[in-house]
Structure 1
Amino acid sequence: MGVVSMVSAAVVSLLLWFAGVAADASDHRYKINDPVPLYANKVGPFHNPSETYRYFDLPFCSSEEVKDKTEALGEILNGDRLVDAPYKLYFRVEQNSKLACKKHLTKDEVAQFRSAVTKDYYFQMYYDDLPIWGFIGKVDKEGKTDPNDHKYYLYTHIHFDVYYNNDRVIEINVRTDNNAMVDLTEDKEIDVDFFYSVKWKETDTPFERRMDLYQQSSATAHHLEIHWFSIINSCVTVLLLTGFLATILMRVLKNDFVKYAHDEESADDQEETGWKYIHGDVFRFPKHNSVFAACVGSGTQLFALATFIFILALVGVFYPYNRGALFTALVVVYALTSGIAGFTATTLYCQLEGTNWVRNLLLTGCLFCGPLFLTFCFLNTVAIAYNATAALPFGTIVVIVLIWALVTSPLLVLGGIAGKNSKAEFQAPCRTTKYPREIPPLPWYRSTIPQMAMAGFLPFSAIYIELYYIFVSVWGHRIYTIYSILFIVFIILLIVTAFITVALTYFQLAAEDHEWWWRSFLCGGSTGLFVYGYCLYYYYARSDMSGFMQTSFFFGYMACICYGFFLMLGMVGFRAALLFVRHIYRSIKCE
């Protein structure tokens, strides 16, 4: 318990340190006429959530020198680039059609605004850490299908409705005035006056519940009903299928135990058949034991990462629009759990009679971070070419490298040293023969690829409905807040993955195929391949994303996520299969 509490304390403290405070230095209490911070964040095409730009990359006007807000690591990773907004909203001071600034738009700036309006650009701001959105303009098609006949308008008047309770801001809504627009259809210079108005209203909602509004928008009765329907559907499907397979498997195993016990009592020279026949080969260590141990170690770390993230989510750390908290948690927790990967991989590698544990440790450290780093380098280059906010500044990259060098790597090495010194031996209930038996010819459907397809389909079907809500949250503008349901889905996924891997391992051993080590890992992780296949369906059938940058970000980062899924669930499948194989061979007499 002491180690767990120390790790938990370290996670929370580092999370708070790297995340900073989503709010400003104030305590969110204001007096009448006090300035309340309003920051302009970013703009971008509504259907391309990764393609966002700085607010003033569009030729908006500013009444004074633009000042950037100091941001925490998670905010930068989230693509936030906050600057002082051109509007001044003082606490409980109403304003009507106040002039923010005047702007003379050149022909190029008019064309730039028109292009943004065509792509449904939206803006995002934060007022006292409350998010607000709005579109910068609209396209008037007037029933005409030819784009050359469309009219393009820029909104010039923004109205803010702010709700307060005593000395605190509770809620803010923004809307644009359709009667205050500038025609951008023609390429000509124009003068634009940007106005804003503010109206204050009192509310009884306490400050502690002001984020509930954003939770309720994503957890309406209709959405909750669909969520729970998907959970019930998954549970029923899983219970029926796993119950059916469990019944068959238990009966077959029972018959096997009775048969083998009878064979031992009757004829000693009787030829053995089935999975008992290969008892001298079933614990023969797998080929490429270093890669295998690294895969299991990395999968164990990612499983620990997912567990800690769920704990933080269930205790309320990731409340809506806690800017960058999730990204900060992923970076910090991954760094702190690297010792788990080192310990697990090195321990298993030494148990598998490996000798070069240092090379195994380096492989473990690079197995997941390597592909992720290469993907990041490519996508960050794309973001730089687009001048998008997704491009990380050099200073942020240095911070991440320092975290990897000063936290991740030392903990990985310490975990590896602890694993090497653990002196744990592989527990095999049967002696392994000197020479391996030849595996009999097997039908095509018992080969690795068909088995992986069978193993991945059932777990994927259990999470299929929930995947849509996760995707529209990660790659859209909907907020996902029902982490309890997601945690239940995660537990179901683990149970189904473990069980289907055990069942397929039994059928493999019954066919006298003793090379189950890699097969169990690949079958367990095959769900990650199904999830990536779902990415193709979602992108082309369920979303309106487009453009090279958005496509690259979607498929690039989803490839990394699915690869992590593959390693984590592969580890779960292998561990479940290992427990099963040890159990059945411990239950019979093997000479």
Structure 2
Amino acid sequence: MAADYRSSMRAICTLLFFCLPIAQAFYIPGFSIKTYSEGDPIPLFVNKVYSDNTEIQYAYSELPFVCPPTRRHNPGGLISGSNVALNLGEVLRGDRIMVSDYELEMGKDDEARYLCSQKVNRADLKKAIEVVKQGYVAEWIVDNLPGATSFVTVDKSRKYYAPGFKVGYEETSWTTGRPRYFLNNHVTLVIRYRQAPGRAGQRGKKVILGFEVYAKSIEAENRDASGLPPDLRSKHRPLELTMARNVTNSTLSGSSESSFHLEMLDDGAEDAVLTIPYTYSVYFREDDKTSWENRWDPYFVNQEESTGVHWVAIVNSLTIFGLLTSVVAVIFTRMVRGDIKQGILEEGKSRGKRRGLKSPRRSGEKTGGLLEQPGDVDTIDLSDEEVIEEVTGWKLVHADVFRSPANGYLLAPLIGSGMQLIFMAVGLITLSCFGVLNPSFRGGFISVGMALFLLAGIFSGYFSARVYKTFGGLNWKYNAVVTATLVPGLMFATIFILNLFVWAQASSTAIPLGTLFGLAALWLFVQLPLVYGGSYYGFWRSGAYTHPIKAGSVARQIPIQPWYARPVQLALAAGLIPFAVIFIELLFVFHSLWSQKTGYYYIFGYLAVVSTILLLAVMETTIIAVYIQLCSENYHWWWQSFFLGAASAAWIFAYSVYYYVHALHLTGFVSNLLFFAYTLLACSIYGLLMGTVGFLTAYAFVRRIYSAIKVD
């Protein structure tokens, strides 16, 4: 059996390595191709602004210092200022996409174009300074591509994109030492295109390959009647965010600082305003080196350059997995060989009686301890090693190992919800590896994940009801309601409370009231009926799980456990091993979610391999830990197996705290609250998922080893 186990593990590893290049090949295909003819209008959408220094996002169109929409009909039938319909994932991630007034026509360059002049008061100016000071980045969209700032790799061999562009920048005055804030009020838009593939290209149609945005700050003065500066290519004074008046403009005309306001006087007028003119330039550049299918590649150059680190993570995971596999193989080899050599426990009992062996003692039986006389009880022949091996360790608790755990009515809904999460996670990673979920499907990861979670409600109810009945439960309807409410209720309550803080900040991440009612409706009309139906079938049709050994009438007394087998120590040690499998890959996930704020983590080929090894590591770690616990004559493995699988969540949360201290620079109470609350929620969901994996693995393991024991 050990040879078969090792062969199956080798087969799994081989399959994973063959699947890795396939998963990589499908990480970003596109959906339908949008083609443009010469002169066709290209709509530009504005979305939101976000920052690495805070978790608060804002809708770009709602900023008080940007140009308000004119509500005019743009070519193509779109109305500026109209909101684009969003899916659930886009709403939850804070997207607020709106049609802008920027006019782009395929193939038509426009060196300078005036957009508007926005007048801001002191309150609006304060908001603009806050946005610039926090380092906010704006996200615009053209042909489903986010506007990006272009950079070149260190070796200058490849170009890569950083999504978004800076709203403004901060400088320190060399005369006063105080910070000064400048707003980028001019953007140069570069649209990269090529001939469309197939027949569309033969008809002269083109496809967009890239959308680059270069922002610049230009003073409000020295403009012509149309609002344009005389020459955009020459050096201009930047537009400073201040209400002050320049009083020493001609004092140091020969100094480079003369182009800035050396001394500022504020008249203190409440009705003072600052006029901010907005202009833009548009350039189209043909790119024959990039295909339409690979147009997202520049957004992931940094992730591709870290391929070596990903392989280190995989090698690290495989090393740990190999060690665990060896230990599990030894356990199975030892038990199976022992069962073949020594026979079943029934024969051992009969031999033990003939040789003076006492049956395992139950709690409540009267004994005289070690000072009993040989005539009072049977004695053990210590010279017979086979008999000692037969009645020590995990076999001693055979009559108690399937005894229903305390508070089993709580464990059953956890297992059901965990099965629901397993179905969702496997579905998401599979769809991502095969390209169904990709950056062109904005918000798709959350939307599809929600759909899979709801559909998996039937599995949640089924497994929860069967486990519940196995533990002796009778009120299956109550169990169904608890199962259907556990995870959605936890998430809804957390999000609703956090939403109160986000609403107060007028952030775009605040979930609209209508969306909250929609989520509640999905739970009531989809999740609850599916869980109820699955519970009915699992409880009445499938019934309870059968066990190879019936529980005894009297519970066995558990001896004092060694320090390494105590629940807390054993769980923490077991959780450290799966964490060691994934902690390198976690760094990339954290960087994508918390540092970049883009969510563009799409190297799912590596993540799928590491996740598979993680599941196997959790399973093997649980087997080892439960075996140690049973050998210590502790038969309370039901809850402990769940905690063994979930324990790595505690290490992940500790790692997130380390990442927060050393990598993030969040400011503000709300941002810090959002980080820790969402991290704790994510770790809880992960712990529930892995805890279910640990429970199912331990249950299969215990059934397997005790199925060879026959008791009268």
The alignment's TM-score, normalised by the length of structure 2, stands at 0.75
Match of 1:501 among 617, 622, 636: 622
1:539 alignment partner in structure 2: 660
Written as runs of structure 1 = structure 2, the 5 A alignment for 1:222-237 is 223-237=306-320
Q: 1:165-203: per-residue Cα shift (whole Å, max 9, x none)?
A: 232222111112354530124556332221110111112
Task: State how many pairs are aligned.
Answer: 564
1:247 alignment partner in structure 2: 330
Counterpart of 1:61 in 2: which secondary structure? coil
Runs of 4+ in 1 over 4 A off after TM superposition: 185-188, 255-262
Match of 1:523 among 644, 660, 678: 644
Stretch moving more, 48-57 or 389-398:
48-57
8 Å CA contact 2:67–2:118 kept in 1: the answer is yes
Amino acid at match of 1:230: A
1:244 deviates by 4.0
1:42 alignment partner in structure 2: 48
Amino acid at match of 2:100: A
The Cα RMSD (Å) is 2.3
1:29 deviates by 2.3
1:265 deviates by 6.5
8 Å CA contact 2:58–2:509 kept in 1: the answer is yes
CA distance in 2 between partners of 1:450 and 1:253 (Å)? 29
CA distance in 2 between partners of 1:423 and 1:201 (Å)? 65
2:225 alignment partner in structure 1: none
In structure 2, relative to structure 1, the CA distance for the partners of 1:502 and 1:476 (3 Å cut) is same
CA distance in 1 between partners of 2:460 and 2:524 (Å)? 16
Stretch moving more, 100-109 or 30-39:
100-109
1:206 alignment partner in structure 2: 291
In structure 2, relative to structure 1, the CA distance for the partners of 1:546 and 1:123 (3 Å cut) is same
2:434 alignment partner in structure 1: 315
Whether 1:88 and 2:106 are equivalent positions in the alignment is no
Match of 2:121 among 99, 106, 114: 106
8 Å CA contact 1:160–1:199 kept in 2: the answer is yes
CA distance in 1 between partners of 2:398 and 2:327 (Å)? 27
1:286 deviates by 1.0
CA distance in 2 between partners of 1:310 and 1:486 (Å)? 8
Amino acid at match of 1:103: Q
CA distance in 2 between partners of 1:151 and 1:289 (Å)? 62
CA distance in 2 between partners of 1:476 and 1:246 (Å)? 42
Match of 1:184 among 241, 248, 252: 241
Match of 1:389 among 508, 529, 535: 508
Match of 2:709 among 575, 588, 591: 588
In structure 2, relative to structure 1, the CA distance for the partners of 1:109 and 1:431 (3 Å cut) is closer
Stretch moving more, 577-586 or 233-242:
233-242
Whether 1:562 and 2:683 are equivalent positions in the alignment is yes
Match of 1:138 among 159, 163, 169: 169
8 Å CA contact 1:32–1:91 kept in 2: the answer is yes
Q: Unpaired runs of 5+ in structure 1?
A: 1-21
8 Å CA contact 2:242–2:274 kept in 1: the answer is no
1:75 alignment partner in structure 2: 90
Amino acid at match of 2:40: D
CA distance in 1 between partners of 2:536 and 2:327 (Å)? 45
Match of 1:118 among 133, 147, 158: 133
8 Å CA contact 1:53–1:387 kept in 2: the answer is no
Written as runs of structure 1 = structure 2, the 5 A alignment for 1:347-496 is 347-477=466-596, 479-496=600-617
Amino acid at match of 2:453: Y
1:34 deviates by 2.1
In structure 2, relative to structure 1, the CA distance for the partners of 1:176 and 1:244 (3 Å cut) is same
1:60 alignment partner in structure 2: 66
2:214 alignment partner in structure 1: 175
Counterpart of 1:473 in 2: which secondary structure? helix
8 Å CA contact 1:164–1:171 kept in 2: the answer is yes
Counterpart of 2:102 in 1: which secondary structure? coil
1:302 deviates by 0.6
The alignment's TM-score, normalised by the length of structure 1, stands at 0.90
Counterpart of 1:42 in 2: which secondary structure? strand
2:194 alignment partner in structure 1: 165
1:17 alignment partner in structure 2: none
Q: Unpaired runs of 5+ in structure 2?
A: 1-29, 72-80, 148-163, 196-205, 218-234, 245-271, 359-390
Q: 1:534-583: per-residue Cα shift (whole Å, max 9, x none)?
A: 22111122212232222222222222221111111111111111111112
In structure 2, relative to structure 1, the CA distance for the partners of 1:230 and 1:143 (3 Å cut) is farther
In structure 2, relative to structure 1, the CA distance for the partners of 1:529 and 1:572 (3 Å cut) is same
CA distance in 2 between partners of 1:419 and 1:346 (Å)? 5
8 Å CA contact 1:305–1:330 kept in 2: the answer is yes
* % same residue: 29
Q: 1:246-277: per-residue Cα shift (whole Å, max 9, x none)?
A: 43663366447645658457333513322211
CA distance in 2 between partners of 1:441 and 1:424 (Å)? 36
In structure 2, relative to structure 1, the CA distance for the partners of 1:340 and 1:252 (3 Å cut) is closer
1:71 deviates by 2.0
8 Å CA contact 1:55–1:123 kept in 2: the answer is no
8 Å CA contact 2:132–2:169 kept in 1: the answer is yes
2:699 alignment partner in structure 1: 578
1:270 alignment partner in structure 2: 357
In structure 2, relative to structure 1, the CA distance for the partners of 1:429 and 1:383 (3 Å cut) is same
